[in-house]
Amino acid sequence: MHTFRSQTCAELNKSHVGETVRLSGWVHRVRDHGGVLFIDLRDHYGVTQVLCDPDSPVFAEMEKVRSEWCIRIDGTVKARDESLINPKLPTGEIEVYVRDLEVLGAADELPLMVFGDQEYPEETRLKYRFLDLRREVMQDNMKLRSDVIMSMRKRMWDQGFREYQTPIITASSPEGARDFLVPSRLHPGKFYALPQAPQQFKQLMMVAGFDKYFQIAPCFRDEDPRADRSPTDFYQLDMEMSFVTQQDVFDTIQPVLQGVFEEFGGGRKVDREWPQIPHADAALWYGTDKPDLRNPIKMQVVSDHFRDSGFAIFAKLLEQEGTEIRAIPAPTGGSRKFCDRMNKFAQQEGLPGMGYIFWRDQGEGMEAAGPLAKNIGPERTEAIRQQLGLGVGDAAFFLGGKPKAFEAVAGRARNVIGEELGLIDKDRFAFAWIVDFPIFQLDEENGGLDFDHNPFSMPQGGLDALLGDPLHVKGYQYDLACNGYELVSGAIRNHKPEIMFKAFELAGYGKDEVMKRFGGMVNAFQYGAPPHGGCAAGVDRIVMLLADEANIREVVMFPMNQRAEDLMMNAPSDPTSDQLMELGLRVIPQE
Has 540 been labeled as part of a binding site? yes
Find out whether 472 is annotated in a ligand binding site.
no
Please write the tens of the pLDDT for every residue from 183-194.
Answer: 999 999 999 999
pLDDT score for 13 = 96
CA distances from 237 to 386, 538, 539 (A): 45, 6, 6
336 is in an annotated binding site: no
2 is in an annotated binding site: no
Q: What is the average per-residue pLDDT within 40-53?
A: 97
| pLDDT for position 448 | 83
- Confirm or deny that 493 is annotated as ligand binding: yes
**pLDDT over 70 percentage in the chain:** 99
**pLDDT class of 364 with cuts at 50, 70, 90:** confident
Ranges of each domain in the chain: 14-105, 295-424
CATH number of 295-424: 3.30.1360.30
Contact 546, 265 (CB under 8 A): yes
Q: Of 462, 450, 437, give the one whose Cα is nearest residue 174.
A: 450
93 is in an annotated binding site: no
Asked if residue 187 belongs to a known ligand binding site, the reply is no
How far apart are the C-alpha atoms of 290 and 407, rounded to whole Å? 13
Residue 539 labelled as part of a binding site? yes
Cβ 104 vs Cβ 71: under 8 Å: yes
**175: confidence class by pLDDT, cuts 50, 70, 90:** low
Q: What pLDDT score was predicted for residue 246? A: 98
CATH topology of domain 14-105: OB fold (Dihydrolipoamide Acetyltransferase, E2P) (2.40.50)
Does 294 count as an annotated binding residue? no
572 cis-preceded (ω within 30 degrees of 0): yes
Residue 223 labelled as part of a binding site: yes
175 is in an annotated binding site: yes
Contact 326, 284 (CB under 8 A): yes
Q: Report whether pLDDT(1) > 90.
A: no
| pTM of this structure | 0.93
